[in-house]
């Protein structure tokens, strides 16, 4: 007997940003697998088994979910944001590829969610209004030289740059080095958005010029957006300015 | 009297991918402004004024919406996908910046939506599972040389590449040239996803190796995802393979 596995994105936190498709997949599941704080966001349903885990061991968590599905259960892996953006979907397909052949017969679906970058961008205006790159700053699974090479390429080609996994207690210096790499190609006045816990109770948004952006203001729940050369502020008196990137772009030297 | 303006993302098409926040903003509006096919997706509410437009003239549409809001109306601009990703949000903030000073006092909010790239990625697996770049191939508002320079930079640094506005009857050759630019840095076997009208009645997904990817299969409703060197297929017998990009990455030459 083979069950099903849905990898479900809860969005950034607020219940009104959970899609009906996600709510339905969660309500229909016999088993919920995921990082404990994400499971805590899901409404309780009678008879549903919960399998909370810590924030590491993504492959082990995916294998556990696939094992349950292979035994006939209807499993949902719960993620924050969108499952496909630096979350559990990639680890799950890696587990399928490297795991038992029968896992390939499990019906696996990905239920998209509002990713942190979309929620953060919406809060400040439209900083992702033109070409952008999205990088994880974590060097747990790739060499730091690769992170730097990608940052330099993105900055030189004048992309807006979105940084996931910008900082944690175990990775305290990477964001400062990333800002310095980008600053070799960008003016000091370039807007940088620090978006912490968007749509949650402790949401905090900060906008700073690149030259004054303080990496210590980021933690593991902070998404960073660094503007392109075209990204602009629209002042509004005492209200926070809007940040947007225009739809048109100038010539970039190849 | 100053009204309000919400720029609302409907997601890719399916009603179950519209967030409750978006549904609420649309139901509360006195006036809906937007491209006619997007307005047609919004449930009717008694007493609500609809202002359909064609797909061009984004600035004029934004100004019309701001004018209505400035006169005290509660306006929603309706967009497909996410309003901040190559949609109406950037044009609206450009209209605010360049428009009447009192427009800066309008309460403007952006309601995020499931973007086409998230929906497309979810359909095939997790192709955006690691660092990626998102570009518009349209050269209406930027020089083609800039598009090419950004493509080359993204390809050389081994990002997954997402292409919006990949093709239209007015821009028939750009996607082929983009594939050739990427192919200078990528193996011919690199997976390319053509995602047409995801979650709509005429959804059509095609996965092809870069060397055989046929640009004529894309139209104005097709999103393109070109894998990085690490992007992989997981075969599943007669079912379509999963496409995913692993969470780990190798060294990229700077």
**What is the ipTM for the molecules in this complex?**
0.97
Q: Is B244 on the interface with A (CB under 8 A)?
A: yes
Measured CA to CA, the distance from residue A58 to residue A117 in angstroms comes to 21
User: CB-CB: which of A125, A132, A145 is closest to B93?
Assistant: A125
**From CA B213, how far away is CA B182, in angstroms rounded?**
12
Q: How far apart are CA A129 and CA A135, in angstroms?
A: 17
Q: Hey, of A132, A157, A251, which one would you mutate to test binding to chain B, going by the most B CBs within 10 A of its CB?
A: A157
- Torsion of the alpha carbons at B158, B163, B167 and B171, rounded to the nearest 10: -70
Q: Is B253 on the interface with A (CB under 8 A)?
A: yes
3-state secondary structure of B137: coil
Strands (E), chain A: 4-9, 31-35, 49-53, 74-79, 107-111, 125-126, 132-136, 160-164, 191-196, 204-209, 222-226, 232-236, 239-244
**Residue in B21, B93, B146 closest to A17 by CB:** B21
Question: Is B79 in contact with B7 (CB distance < 8 Å)?
Answer: yes
Could you give the angle at which helices A88-98 and A58-70 cross, rounded to 10 degrees?
60
Facing residue for B126 by CB, picked from A90, A142, A152: A90
Q: Which residues of B touch A90 (CB under 8 A)?
A: 126, 129-130, 244-247
Count A/B contacts: CB-CB distance under 8 Å. Answer: 264
A104: pLDDT strictly greater than 60: yes
Query: What gap in Å lies between CA B161 and CA A133, rounded to an integer?
Result: 9
**Residue B15: per-residue pLDDT:** 97
On whether any CB of chain A is under 8 Å from the CB of B238, the answer is: no
pLDDT in tens, A76-99: 999 999 999 999 999 999 999 999
Closest C-alpha to A120, from A226, A215, A233 = A226
Strand order in the sheet with A31-35: A49-53, A31-35, A74-79, A4-9, A107-111
Q: Is B197 on the interface with A (CB under 8 A)?
A: no
Q: Return the bridge partners of A168, or none.
A: A171
- Among B184, B123, B177, smallest CA distance to B158 is for B184
Contacts of B128 in chain A (CB under 8 A): 84-85, 134
pTM above 0.95, yes or no: yes
Per-residue model confidence (pLDDT) at position A70: 97
Which residue did the predictor score with more confidence, A237 or A251?
A: A237
* B150 interface with A at CB cutoff 8 Å: yes
Predicted confidence (pLDDT) per residue in A15-33, tens digit = 999 999 999 999 999 999 9
* Percentage of the residues of chain A whose pLDDT score is greater than 90: 91
Per-residue pLDDT for A118 more than 90? yes
Lookup: tokens for A40: 């805590």
Percent of chain A with pLDDT over 70: 98
B117 in contact with A at a CB cutoff of 8 Å?
A: no
Q: What is the residue-wise DSSP string for B226-250? A: E--TT-EEEEETTEEEEEE--S---
Residue-wise pLDDT tens for chain B (254 aa)? 678 999 999 999 999 999 999 999 999 999 999 999 999 999 999 999 999 987 778 999 999 999 999 999 999 999 999 999 999 999 999 999 999 999 999 999 999 999 999 999 999 999 999 999 999 999 888 999 999 999 999 999 999 999 999 999 999 999 999 999 999 999 999 999 999 999 999 999 999 999 999 999 999 999 999 999 999 999 998 899 999 999 988 777 55
Q: Which of residues 96-115 of B touch A (CB under 8 A)?
A: 96-97, 104-105, 108-115
CB contact under 8 A, B122 and A130: no
Q: What is the mean pLDDT of chain A?
A: 95
Q: Do B89 and A126 touch (CB under 8 A)?
A: yes
CB contact under 8 A, A115 and B118: yes
Residues on chain B touching A104 (C-beta within 8 angstroms): 234-237
Residue A253 reports pLDDT greater than 70: no
């Amino acid at each position: 007997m083979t069950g099903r596995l849905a990898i479900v994105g809860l969005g950034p936190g607020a219940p009104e940003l959970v899609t009906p498709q996600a709510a339905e997949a969660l309500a229909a599941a016999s088993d919920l697998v995921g990082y404990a704080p994400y499971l805590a966001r899901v409404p309780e349903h009678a008879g549903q088994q919960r399998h909370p885990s810590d924030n590491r061991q993504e492959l082990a968590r995916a294998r556990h979910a696939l094992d349950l599905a292979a035994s006939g259960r209807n499993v949902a892996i719960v993620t924050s944001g969108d499952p496909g953006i630096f979350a559990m979907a990639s680890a799950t397909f890696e587990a399928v590829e490297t795991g038992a052949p029968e896992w390939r017969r499990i019906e696996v679906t990905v239920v998209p969610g509002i990713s942190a970058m979309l929620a953060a961008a919406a809060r400040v205006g439209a900083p992702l209004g033109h070409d952008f790159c999205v990088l994880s700053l974590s060097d747990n699974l790739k060499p730091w030289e690769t992170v730097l090479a990608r940052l330099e390429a993105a900055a030189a080609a004048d992309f807006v740059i979105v940084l996931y996994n910008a900082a944690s207690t175990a990775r305290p210096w990477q964001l400062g080095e990333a800002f310095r790499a980008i600053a070799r190609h960008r003016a000091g006045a370039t807007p940088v958005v620090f978006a912490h816990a968007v749509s949650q109770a402790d949401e905090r948004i900060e906008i700073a010029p690149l030259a004054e952006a303080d990496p210590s203001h980021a933690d593991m729940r902070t998404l960073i957006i660094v503007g392109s050369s075209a990204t602009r502020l629209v002042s509004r008196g005492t209200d926070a300015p809007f940040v947007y990137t225009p739809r048109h772009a100038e010539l970039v030297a190849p």
